[in-house]
Structure 1
Amino acid sequence: MTAVDPLLSIRGLNMRFGGVKALTDVSMDVAPGSIVSIIGPNGAGKTTFFNMICRLYEPSAGQIRFQDRDLLHCKPHDLAGQGISRTFQNLALFRHGTVVDNLLVGMHAHLKSGVFGGAWYWGRTSREECMARERVETIIEFLEIEEIRHQPVSTLSYGLQKRVELGRALATQPKLLLLDEMVSGMNHEETEDIARFVLDLRDELGITVLMIEHDMDVVMDISDTVHVLNFGCMIASGTPAEVAGNPAVVEAYLGVAKS
């Protein structure tokens, strides 16, 4: 794959729920090493779009290719091994597990030892667990959560829990990270921390980020490209400045200034 080839390529994506058109002829490319945002009003089809990429929904029509591989031939549980990971708008952590326990779950796709190896805990099994724990410690340091590594997730603030969920997604070693409303419900300081981490994901770890986000300050500050959905249709694409100045976007999403 050359630098100019898209990491993720979407063509003519359509989704119907009975007589309801959730998405209509949506196409986009996500370049490697970029931060791409999808914005739009509630009900515009953003999460449906993510669910199709993650193979939770079967498109009515269209193509989804990742690293030139047809994702429509993949099962949802195959995606972590392919290099795609996701966070959810609603927390989906093991609340009674510690931070380390939750991050280790993300390493599962990369552990190859079977039942017998796990029972005896020797050879490759032991080496794999050491590797997994080293990886987890690297993520903990990256996300600056060293002091809470052994705390149960249920005792943490909402912002820290979101950070742990991001860490678990990173533990799968993704090439493409899908972030669904990552800063929703966070205060200003927590939001700034997550925005900084997302930039570091791209700049330091080389991870491509595709995110759904309502916080327009975050979108405009860190995105390379912004795509706008409205009623399931793509109405604008471009740089943050181009999208912010697009009359169709202003009317559909940002609001029309009153005279």
Structure 2
Amino acid sequence: MSFLKLEGVTKRFGGLTAVSEIDMTVERGQIYSLIGPNGAGKTTLFNLISSVLPVSAGRITFDGQDITRTPTHAMAKLGMARTFQNLAVFKHESVVNNILTGLHSRLRTDPLSAAVFWGRARREELWARERAEEIIDFLEIEDLRDLPVGTLSYGQQKRVELGRALAVEPKLLLLDEMVSGMNQEEREDIGRFVLDLKEELGMTVLMVEHDMGIVMDISDRVCVMHHGAKIAEGTPAEVSADPEVIEAYLGGSRAA
């Protein structure tokens, strides 16, 4: 059974069809990338998968469960987490506190136990802080842990947002233009982290990305969208050699 499967997924905004009858399969443990020109419908499709937007037509299944009509707040408990194209961090809070917010969905203490901070509440708090430190170590931001996120560089803030998504302990991680606005060194670091997530933790990653170097270097499969429709799918080598893809997207990148 496919880990994530989209069947005829469509999104309409009035008379505009932003995503048109997308069929797509992501297998467990893959790094799967969505690419295409600006306005191709990639982020809209991400929003449909993560239930930020309702599907107009079609079906989405995740880990054997139909999630087409699942409310947004339930996605984290199902094992799905994401980052956003625009930063969505708590800028006045510290790095460690931002990551701790991602662990909220993993906690089970009732309000009364939390108020007296005893027993299960204390154990969960200790576990959460230990887990946050593990994520901070993994992302190599130990020296930033106590700083307000708003004082960090853009690339560092994106790394904190990734850490908060990892705190959910997702089975599927969605990364929406994770390396946009980063310098070359920062982009390479993120590529290395994503590969480590796959190779060390067996995590499945679905990316929307414009950086073709990252896409071609680390992806197992690539889906190309144009004007809301899928125009190609395959390995990075297969997609990069597709004439329709070259005309719609890769050709412009190569010329640059």
TM above 0.5, yes or no, is yes
Question: Quick one: which of 125, 129, 150 aligns to 2:121?
Answer: 125
Pick from 153, 176, 181 the counterpart of residue 180 of structure 1.
176
- Pair 1:20 & 2:16 matched: yes
Report the equivalent of 2:137: 141
Q: Which residue of 1 aligns with 2:163?
A: 167
* SS of residue in 2 equivalent to 1:204: helix
Give 2:129's aligned amino acid: R
Give the % identical residues.
58
Aligned-residue CA RMSD in angstroms? 1.1
- Counterpart of 1:229 in structure 2 is 225
Using the TM superposition, give the Cα deviation of residue 255 of structure 1 relative to its aligned residue in structure 2, in angstroms. 2.4
Secondary structure at 2:231 match in 1: strand
1:58 corresponds in structure 2 to 54
Aligned to 1:155: 151
Indicate which of 70, 73, 83 corresponds to 1:74.
Answer: 70
Give 1:103's aligned residue: 99
SS at match of 1:255: helix
In the alignment, structure 1 segments of 5+ residues that lack a partner are none
Q: Deviations over 1:98-129 (max 9, x none)?
A: 01100000000011112211110001000001
Matched, 1:11 2:17: no
Name the CA distance, whole Å, in 2 between partners of 1:152 and 1:104. 14
Secondary structure at the counterpart of residue 201 of structure 2: coil
- The one of 213, 228, 246 equivalent to 2:242 is 246
Range moving further from structure 2, 53-62 or 95-104? 53-62
The secondary structure found in structure 2 opposite 1:24 is strand
Report how far residue 35 of structure 1 moved.
Answer: 0.2
Gaps of 5+ in 2: none
After TM superposition, give the deviation of residue 159 of structure 1 in Å: 0.8
Shift of 1:73: 3.3
CA distance in 2, matches of 1:40, 1:168: 27
TM-score of the aligned structures, taking structure 2 as reference length? 0.97
Superposed CA deviations along residues 221-245 of structure 1, whole A, max 9, x for unmatched, are 0000000000011000000010000
Matching of residue 38 in structure 1 with residue 34 in structure 2:
yes
Return the letter of the residue paired with 2:130. E
Moved over 4 A (4+): none
